[in-house]
Structure 1
Amino acid sequence: MSAEHEGIDLRLLGPVRAWRDGTELPLGSARRTAVFSVLALHAGHAVSREQLVAAVWGEDPPASATGNVYTYVSALRQVLEPARDRWAAGQMLTSGGGTYRLHVRPQDVDVFRFEALREESKRSRRAGDLHGELAALESALRLWHGEALAGVPGPYAEAQRLRLTELRLATAERQAAVLSGLGRHDQAVTVLRGLVERYPLQENLQDMLMAALHASGRRTEALGLQAQRSGATRVTAGGEDTTGAALQRTTDRAALIGRDAEVRFLRRAAAEAAAGRGRSIRIEGSPGMGKSALLTVALRGATPVGCRTGWAVGDELARRMPLGVLLECVESAMAGDTARTVVKQLFTIAADTLDGVIAGTVDRAVAVIRQAAEEAPLILVADDLQWADPGTLRVWAALHEFTAELPLLLVAAARPGFGELDGIPADEVLDLAPLTTEAATALARAVAPEPPDGETLRRLLGDAGGNPYYLRHLAAAEPGDDRAAIPADLVTAIGTQLASFTEETRQLLRAIAFLDAADAEDATEQPQQDTTRGEPARCTVGEVAAVTGRPADELLRALEPAVAAGLVARSGDRLTFRHPVVCRVLHEGTPASLRVMLHRSFAERIADAGGPPERVVAQLLAGPVPLDGPVSRWLSEHIEQLAGRAPRIAVTVLQRVRSQHVADPGERLVLTAWLARLLLRQGVNAVAEANWVAARTADLDLEGEMRWVAAVAHERRGEYDAAAEIARSVLSERRIPVRWLDRFRILITRLRPHLSGNPTVPHMSRAALLGDEVSVIR
């Protein structure tokens, strides 16, 4: 293989550029640059021709794609080695076996230098060296010169662009945090102001900025930022496209994977409004489903020429101001004298409302909006409409009937389950469903710092439950971190969401989380099955009632807000979290000692209510619950039923009972015998357990069964001599019941072809060894 070449500098963190020995190389067309980028991001590794075609053209390449790759590679060879004879083999870009390899060192590619510096910063962080961490972070950020892979086409470049953008944001975020940690609050404020401008939808950046402003003594600015927070996601219609906006759109595109149909629908509605046909649309979805991102990608900067678009976000502050959200919408939609006139009229109406003049408020406001729409097409977009002030809601509802005759498009996004929205009509309601598995997989791969393996991907998709916000945060966890842990910012976000419910509802949600978490803790790693319906077990209303001591009808009323908000799904009598990560936050956020107590208590209450034994055991296995005397006694009474309904979970609890040595001798004997039977049925080695029981029991029938289990276990493992030795011993002693002796005679005959020498028992005739086969093991 050719040696890697020095004097090379490849830059992908911005427009793709390449230098050799200080001279910039002309990379050529966009697709040729795309091929080069794929090779550069696989520096020193072979890339197949098929991989290049898929990376540049996607799943439906033109017939000429393969030939084009050959042409591009030939041209790149000439660019990289201009002095090379046309017919001589290349040294920097080689081929063989249908693959291509770019021979450059990782340190010659800025992407790899960036990632190396990030790793260096993490090492410094672990060592407690904040100054070293900050130096590495700042060096990493200095490598950037714009949007990564700017202008490079193809799905591979798009995915890398999204991944690198997320890493850039995380790096800058950490830089600001370290600056604050070092007491350099003014510098942190400068960094965070730039980030807030580039990423106006990232609320955590605004929180960090307010904290830095407070720490630097600039409390007035911090309070001003807090008051303006609802406008942090707004930009004026027709604003110019800055680098920050481009980066934000890149992040938004990741959030909008799987929402193509909704984007097209909204853009078509905007086009129809420009043509004179308005309508009213509401987008509903639980927190994190991508409502705000959908509005941003579909409508911000993409509205037809001639349309005026106004934006507003409902929040606690806006709710206090009559017509506050409506005023914000209209003000951002218009410019110049027209805006001042319309806003003044609406402000006068709002002021009259504050003065107690309520009569005619809605009609006056509607008349102002109608006149504005008659002059030019008007699109009003209200995010989080459920938090809008009552006046805005009444006007919004009244405007609905005029959208059919005016170029007026009303688009609102809202969470479900708010009674305030019951009287707000809409022509269409888009319910943002969870992402499909295909879309969720694409999103996870787009934002993950490195491609997740199959097991990690399954866990990420399972935890997120199709929620794009949850999935992005889970997938974006650093490779060096505990990927199974929930990121702190996601824990905070979910905690904030749960805080909106009453204490009564939160307690019930915690109970459901503990019941659901018990399913997830099944140590067999197999989905626990409801044997009556053949589907994964989930807690029931009856179980929640049993563990909480609340009547079913009462707890269902208390859970209505969580069901309406899309947090909990109810199917018949079954309840479960739509997004398992919420269940994990509630369960794992409970102190360990309290978790053990609750699981033990839940197990007892389910047992007292006559619940299925597997549901009782699931609680015992969901944490280090001591399997003491009372538990062992209950298990001895219910083990046969448990073994028939859930044999795998039965094995797990029996193994734990045996290892804890807490059961009394009689119960331990019974439970270990059941463990041996189940292990044999599942094809697992049961010799130790069976021999242990056989050596201690006074029940000859049980002894015969256990010695039979041990012999068959040896046979299944190919240990024929050991199996035959047990059979000879049993048949010589003739102590156990006849039905077991008959089985051993059949066994010795079955083993004969596998044994060397004479396998018959001395002083016993062949006829004495043979007998009719009896019933199978019970």
Structure 2
Amino acid sequence: MRVSTTDDRRLRIRLLGPLRVTRAGANPALGPARQQAVLAALAAWPDRAMPRAELIAAVWGDEPPPSAAGNLYTYISTLRRSLTPDGAPGPVLSSENGTYRLRAAAVDVDAWCFETFREEGLRLRADRDADGERAALTRALELWHGPEALDGVPGPDAANRREHLRELYLATVERHAQLTLDRGRAEELVEPLGRLVAAYPARESLHDLAMHALVRVGRRDEAVLLYRRLRNHLAAHTGALPAAPLRDLHAGLVAGHGRDPALPPRHPGFVGHTAETALLERALDDVAHGRGASIWIDGPSGSGKSALLAEGLRGATAHGCRVGWAVGDELARRVPYGLIIECLDDGNGGPDGPGPLRVAARDPNAAMTVVDEVRALVDARCAAAPLVLVADDLQWADDASLVVWHALHRLTATLPLLLVAASRPLPTSRELRLLRQALMRGGTRFVDVPPLSDEVAGRLVRHVAPAADARTVAEVVDSAAGNAQLLRHLATPGGDDALTAAVLRHLHPLRDETRHLLRVAAFLGADCPVAELPVVTGTPVPALVPAAEEALAAGLLVEDGGRLRFRYPVMRRVLYRSTPTALRVMMHRDFAQRIAESGGSAVRVAGHLAAGPVSVDAWIERWLLRHGEALSAAAPDLAEAVFRQALASPLLSARARDRIGTLAAGLRPAPRVTAACAGADT
């Protein structure tokens, strides 16, 4: 199997992600999902004659419908036409004597290339060539373009192939990571391994590598927390402990730690939030003197809640308090009582640990037993020392943990128990809303984390980027609107990828309709006219309301009269710039016509034409002839940009060229364009 070729007529078939075919830069249509499953089954074994019955079983399983044979014939015919390059000596997909064959001489299949590079890595490993092995594995991993092979392709063959490739992928990642660690480049591994351990919470080999990477970059506390999450996950699902090497690594990390390992590290450069920090410090002093309390901290993603908790509660050990600290995440939400168990598991393995609680939690009918176990455990710990329990990212907590948190709240009236929760506005659930209402009635102190002031934000930027000049600092401060996480990413040199990832994490909890609405709003300018949203989307206003309300509730949009604006200007720019260029131009072109046909202003229409920049077509030519004069009077800078763009197009007719040229000549030279939509100010 050849790995690559320079022949543009040769097909590249990608199985390592969503199924995709490329030829000479184009992507032939692959049709419906079952048709894609046929192609995937053939591509898994190129140049092998696959009997019709075997192919049907691969796609439909052991009990195919009566229509399977007819559908297969249609799919093969369609694929043959779609895949065969113009001028090819024969079809890429051939059939004879009841079999089908994908000709290997005409295709490259990335899964086969992946395994070829893996085999090369194994050979180089046997030769003790670590650098060569790492290079081969790097080339293998670069072939992946999605989290799962054959993502979305149905059928038992695709499912089996997906599982096989997933295991090969993870084994390759782990070996590559080990070689990278051996080269002293742990900083390259922290983020990618962090994403993988979140996706595979029970895979101990990944956790081992991720913990070692964290330790080597000086983030030992996070390595301890990672171990605790693994241990809790295994206990909840299997009742087993992590393997001995991981337990030994954890024991070495917590031995002689110098402070309570339950406390997360303070955030470097922490600034601002003095009132909120003081509130937490007073609560620590109160609980140390026997007075319990409950505090709930609210704030949008990236507002600095976690940093505030670490800063305000850093004195817990000095006050003689025992601390339990848990952080919710999307995966942990599936584990009943997972957040509460993590909160109560201090890693000491003592007689007052949550072992009995884990056993009770595995029984779905033991809710009251679990609550009683937690109460008894907390009561025993409070008898020994004041207790501080922290639940960060409570919005991801499982419903059972929320019930237990409510029960713990009642104990704050009689025990030296401080409960501190932190959450974002979204995602939310009925159970979380009910808990919030109950705690409000029960006296919990609710605190909103405000955005950082411009002065405080500037101090944070200068801490992250000491060499930044005053203008750069001001631009970063304006773009982030007081969001600490965005400020850090914006101030970090070369941090564009991390910034984009951070913005997309803000959007992750939202529904697809809301994310789409935000991207559309990013194209409509810094102040998005609400009236244009139904025009450009073709969606009635009532159908847009839920998405707009969710974006407002998440604190991502702000309503100002008849307009919506992004709370964080950088978020709009990232959404706009992350849209592929071809799609961006198409959207501007489509929006321009929709706004024009709805009676929108010439300035708004021209703003989209200039922002694309959109190629001239028949509709644009007619629109310029009809509205060019009015546009010149209303916005001469914008008019000049659109006219010059049109005059540069070979598609412009002679009549239109004369008229637009005359209009352009009558305009004064403009130093810049002030377009009325996103393209000009991104």
Q: TM-score range by the shorter chain?
A: 0.5 to 0.7
**Shift of residue 312 of structure 1?**
0.9
In structure 2, distance between residues paired with 1:626 and 1:454 = 39
Given residue 357 of structure 1, which amino acid in structure 2 is its aligned partner? A
In structure 1, distance between residues paired with 2:551 and 2:474 = 26
Q: Which residue in 1 is equivalent to 2:271?
A: 257
**Shift of residue 613 of structure 1?**
2.4
The answer on 1:429 being equivalent to 2:453 is: no
2:391 match: secondary structure: strand
Change (3 A) 1:366 1:442: same
In structure 1, distance between residues paired with 2:321 and 2:282 = 13
Q: Which residue in 2 is equivalent to 1:77?
A: none
Bigger mean CA offset, 265-274 vs 567-576: 567-576
The answer on 1:505 being equivalent to 2:521 is: no
Pairing partner for 1:446 from 463, 481, 486: 463
The answer on 1:626 being equivalent to 2:615 is: yes
**Shift of residue 416 of structure 1?**
0.8
8 Å contact from structure 1 (residues 313, 385) kept in 2: yes
2:421 match: secondary structure: strand
1:329 match: secondary structure: helix
1:147-546 counterparts in 2 under 5 A? 185-189=177-181, 203-204=191-192, 206-207=194-195, 220-222=204-206, 231-232=225-226, 252-254=267-269, 256-300=270-314, 302-332=316-346, 336-337=350-351, 339-340=352-353, 343-351=354-362, 353-354=363-364, 356-359=365-368, 361-362=370-371, 365-366=374-375, 368-417=377-426, 418-419=428-429, 420-424=431-435, 425=439, 427-448=444-465, 451-478=467-494, 487-516=496-525, 538-546=527-535
8 Å contact from structure 1 (residues 283, 431) kept in 2: yes
Bigger mean CA offset, 495-504 vs 257-266: 495-504
8 Å contact from structure 1 (residues 309, 380) kept in 2: yes
Pairing partner for 1:617 from 596, 606, 610: 606
Given residue 455 of structure 2, which amino acid in structure 1 is its aligned partner? E
In structure 2, distance between residues paired with 1:293 and 1:241 = 21
8 Å contact from structure 1 (residues 210, 226) kept in 2: no
Q: Deviations over 1:636-674 (max 9, x none)?
A: 433455456545434433444455576556655665565
TM-score by length of 2: 0.58
**Shift of residue 316 of structure 1?**
3.9
Q: Deviations over 1:464-501 (max 9, x none)?
A: 333222221222124xxxxxxx6223323433443443
1:253 match: secondary structure: coil
8 Å contact from structure 1 (residues 263, 298) kept in 2: yes
Given residue 206 of structure 1, which amino acid in structure 2 is its aligned partner? G
In structure 2, distance between residues paired with 1:559 and 1:239 = 51
**Shift of residue 605 of structure 1?**
0.7
Pairing partner for 1:592 from 581, 591, 596: 581
8 Å contact from structure 2 (residues 197, 207) kept in 1: no
In structure 1, distance between residues paired with 2:279 and 2:227 = 22
Given residue 485 of structure 2, which amino acid in structure 1 is its aligned partner? Y
8 Å contact from structure 1 (residues 380, 410) kept in 2: yes
**Shift of residue 549 of structure 1?**
0.6
Change (3 A) 1:204 1:565: farther
In structure 1, distance between residues paired with 2:457 and 2:627 = 42
In structure 2, distance between residues paired with 1:364 and 1:498 = 38
In structure 2, distance between residues paired with 1:679 and 1:305 = 72
Change (3 A) 1:209 1:322: closer
1:188 match: secondary structure: helix
8 Å contact from structure 2 (residues 198, 331) kept in 1: no
Given residue 294 of structure 1, which amino acid in structure 2 is its aligned partner? L
Number of residue equivalences: 463
8 Å contact from structure 1 (residues 230, 315) kept in 2: no
8 Å contact from structure 2 (residues 197, 203) kept in 1: no
Q: Deviations over 1:531-564 (max 9, x none)?
A: xxxxxxx112321211111111211213433332
Change (3 A) 1:413 1:670: same
Q: Deviations over 1:336-357 (max 9, x none)?
A: 44x33xx245335424x43x23
Given residue 221 of structure 1, which amino acid in structure 2 is its aligned partner? S
Larger Rg: 1
Change (3 A) 1:373 1:238: farther
In structure 1, distance between residues paired with 2:295 and 2:370 = 23
2:468 match: secondary structure: coil
8 Å contact from structure 2 (residues 325, 391) kept in 1: yes
**Shift of residue 506 of structure 1?**
2.7
Given residue 437 of structure 1, which amino acid in structure 2 is its aligned partner? D
1:434 match: secondary structure: coil
**Shift of residue 372 of structure 1?**
3.4
In structure 1, distance between residues paired with 2:372 and 2:629 = 73
**Shift of residue 393 of structure 1?**
0.4
**Shift of residue 607 of structure 1?**
1.2
8 Å contact from structure 1 (residues 192, 209) kept in 2: no
8 Å contact from structure 2 (residues 489, 499) kept in 1: yes
8 Å contact from structure 2 (residues 296, 445) kept in 1: yes
In structure 1, distance between residues paired with 2:255 and 2:558 = 42
2:367 match: secondary structure: coil
8 Å contact from structure 2 (residues 425, 554) kept in 1: yes
8 Å contact from structure 1 (residues 238, 301) kept in 2: no
Please report the RMSD computed on the Cα atoms of aligned residues, expressed in angstroms. Answer: 4.4
1:232 match: secondary structure: helix
Change (3 A) 1:300 1:193: farther
**Shift of residue 374 of structure 1?**
4.7
The answer on 1:566 being equivalent to 2:582 is: no
Given residue 322 of structure 2, which amino acid in structure 1 is its aligned partner? R
Q: Deviations over 1:561-588 (max 9, x none)?
A: 3332223333343223322333333322
In structure 2, distance between residues paired with 1:210 and 1:422 = 26
Change (3 A) 1:320 1:613: same
Unaligned runs of 5+ in 2: 1-129, 135-171, 212-221, 229-249, 673-682
Change (3 A) 1:264 1:642: farther
8 Å contact from structure 2 (residues 321, 386) kept in 1: yes
**Shift of residue 379 of structure 1?**
0.6
Q: Deviations over 1:51-93 (max 9, x none)?
A: xxxxxxxxxxxxxxxxxxxxxxxxxxxxxxxxxxxxxxxxxxx
**Shift of residue 604 of structure 1?**
0.6
In structure 1, distance between residues paired with 2:505 and 2:369 = 38
In structure 1, distance between residues paired with 2:394 and 2:671 = 59
**Shift of residue 635 of structure 1?**
3.5
Greater RCO, CA 8 A, separation 6+:
2
8 Å contact from structure 2 (residues 536, 591) kept in 1: yes
8 Å contact from structure 2 (residues 297, 449) kept in 1: yes
Given residue 432 of structure 2, which amino acid in structure 1 is its aligned partner? L
In structure 1, distance between residues paired with 2:478 and 2:227 = 30
In structure 2, distance between residues paired with 1:404 and 1:490 = 43
In structure 1, distance between residues paired with 2:381 and 2:472 = 53
Change (3 A) 1:329 1:645: same
In structure 2, distance between residues paired with 1:641 and 1:309 = 69
8 Å contact from structure 2 (residues 528, 564) kept in 1: yes
Q: Which residue in 1 is equivalent to 2:118?
A: none
Q: Deviations over 1:2-50 (max 9, x none)?
A: xxxxxxxxxxxxxxxxxxxxxxxxxxxxxxxxxxxxxxxxxxxxxxxxx
**Shift of residue 302 of structure 1?**
4.7
Identity %: 39
In structure 2, distance between residues paired with 1:433 and 1:546 = 35
In structure 1, distance between residues paired with 2:209 and 2:296 = 29
